[in-house]
Amino acid sequence: MSSLYIKEATGVDELTTAGSQDHPFKTPAYALFASQQKSDTTEPKLFVFKTEDNEYQEISASALKKARKGCDGLKKKAVKQKEQELKKQQKEAENAAKQLSALNITIKEDESLPAAIKTRIYDSYSKVGQRVKVSGWIHRLRSNKKVIFIVLRDGSGFIQCVLSGDLALAQQTLDLTLESTVTLYGTIVKLPEGKTAPGGVELNVDYYEVVGLAPGGEDSFTNKIAEGSDPSLLLDQRHLALRGDALSAVMKVRAALLKSVRRVYDEEHLTEVTPPCMVQTQVEGGSTLFKMNYYGEEAYLTQSSQLYLETCLASLGDVYTIQESFRAEKSHTRRHLSEYTHIEAELAFLTFDDLLQHIETLIVKSVQYVLEDPIAGPLVKQLNPNFKAPKAPFMRLEYKDAITWLKEHDIKNEEGEEFKFGDDIAEAAERKMTDTIGVPIFLTRFPVEIKSFYMKRCSDDPRVTESVDVLMPNVGEITGGSMRIDDMNELMAGFKREGIDTDAYYWFIDQRKYGTCPHGGYGIGTERILAWLCDRFTVRDCSLYPRFSGRCKP
């Protein structure tokens, strides 16, 4: 019978341990286990080092019993480990074989199939039973056993595509990544009852080509615009973020809104014009002007095309423009941009009441057309499920009554004091009031002093102007408009009051000289009306590449 030595402090539990006094095991259980692994048939005698006596002593009966139990556990563990090792080796072999066969699969088009009709995704929904080819970006990618599902996006819509058989197994398919571009060939099939996918169809892919493989790993699309990232990082990656569901939906609604606005203007017989953006006049106060050096002369980026629209009345009749306006806004708010798309109109020979009705028609009808649009309508529902289309007539609220309302509701002005006639109703108070009232409001008849130089005074109360702000719940002001001073002397007094040098305005003043007329107009912030329509927290979400102080890229 052999002897094995165990010393807890310095021993080593390894199969190569000799078990001598110089090279003892650490535990009795392992010493037994090691001896059995060496196929020793008789149980060795175990000697355990006793620190208190400084010598090896034969193991006690109870400790030996415990060691045998421990040895059984070690044996079981060893068997399990061996099994796992074997399984791992098998799996590796299988994977290697799979990879080899995947590498060997070449994706080829079956020439005997009918020629594929090139189609955009939106048109493919009506091509059930036909073989088509669609090109686009991989929006979603998922594999389920031996089938790969791709949601393809081409800007016109989304389609679910199914790759099975060799197509799903090929290495080329396994290497596909989100945002890669592909051309998929296959047959459009109707989805079975109970299943849902865009257009109610699926593309059964029989062949495909990779157009551009997007990176995976560190540089992958989802890493670049990870959900919950800092908004400023997402703005740096705006070119990629625009591919996301919500932003692209807002941009589609935006396109539909501009189309609808143009349609209403067409129905109302307004002519579209495109005034210059580089100007030498201000419209809405000097403090938000973007100055520029124009070949050595001082010039500005336009704040509003209003003055130019006024000059078009005598030439073209009622006119509108949809173009960029610029405001050097110092404050960071959720509804201010440095550059925004301004929808502006100017109409001749009308009363203030006519103007209000016209604005109502424009807003009600253009929203109606957006909701009726087959693409934008469902997107508005998706983005803003509780949206209720506005109905005319909108609530009319005079500025002086708004001041009373604010006082009654204990809402304070910017100085934290009770509102008084003449105060500007700043963003916070305006939003509180609008959200509480909860419906679109025409806030009218603002005091002369808090409005621009060109606004016409009310004939029944010269302290106030024929002016209007349209206020929408959750956003506040989306539109500002007014009747314009049409009398030359009154206009000159307006310039004087605001301290504006009139030299640069000779062409604007001439409108009062060469056949003046009662007229009025307004401007709508496209991003503001969209924020209301699409329920976005900030107008930044409604601009393609938003500009605000500190951000002029990408």
Binding site for ligand 4AD (CB under 6 A): 283-284, 304, 306, 327, 329, 336-337, 340, 342, 344, 477-481, 521-525, 527-528, 539
**Helix (H) / strand (E) containing 241:** helix 238-241
Of 119 and 452, the one with the shorter C-beta distance to ligand 4AD is: 452
Q: What is the DSSP string of 428-452?
A: HHHHHHHHHH-S-EEEE--BGGGS-
Q: What is the DSSP string of 83-105?
A: HHHHHHHHHHHHHHHHHHHHHH-
> Alpha-carbon distance 355 to 521, whole Å?
7
Shortest Å distance, C-beta 482 to ligand 4AD: 6
Shortest Å distance, C-beta 116 to ligand 4AD: 46
Shortest Å distance, C-beta 127 to ligand 4AD: 43
Of 84 and 287, the one with the shorter C-beta distance to ligand 4AD is: 287
Of 43 and 324, the one with the shorter C-beta distance to ligand 4AD is: 324
Of 131 and 528, the one with the shorter C-beta distance to ligand 4AD is: 528
Shortest Å distance, C-beta 321 to ligand 4AD: 9
Of 373 and 527, the one with the shorter C-beta distance to ligand 4AD is: 527
**Helix (H) / strand (E) containing 370:** helix 352-372
Of 11 and 523, the one with the shorter C-beta distance to ligand 4AD is: 523
Percent helix / strand / coil, the chain, rounded to 5: 40, 25, 35
Q: How long is the chain?
A: 554
Shortest Å distance, C-beta 327 to ligand 4AD: 4
> Alpha-carbon distance 178 to 118, whole Å?
23
Of 154 and 344, the one with the shorter C-beta distance to ligand 4AD is: 344
Residue 172, judged by CB atoms within 10 A of its CB (0-12, 13-18, 19+), counts as middle
Shortest Å distance, C-beta 309 to ligand 4AD: 7
Shortest Å distance, C-beta 184 to ligand 4AD: 41
Q: Indicate if the alpha-carbon torsion angle 123, 128, 133, 137 is positive or negative.
A: positive
Which residues, at least 6 apart from 461, have a Cβ–Cβ distance to it below 8 Å?
445
Of 102 and 524, the one with the shorter C-beta distance to ligand 4AD is: 524
> Alpha-carbon distance 251 to 230, whole Å?
21
**Helix (H) / strand (E) containing 299:** strand 297-301
Q: Is-contact 11 26, C-beta < 8 A?
A: yes
Of 254 and 336, the one with the shorter C-beta distance to ligand 4AD is: 336
Shortest Å distance, C-beta 339 to ligand 4AD: 8
Task: Report residue 14: phi and psi, to 5°.
Answer: -140, 155
* Side chain identity, residue 273: V
Shortest Å distance, C-beta 213 to ligand 4AD: 40
* Nearest one of 125, 256, 244 to 179, comparing CA atoms: 244
Joined together, the tokens standing for residue 464 give: 């106030």
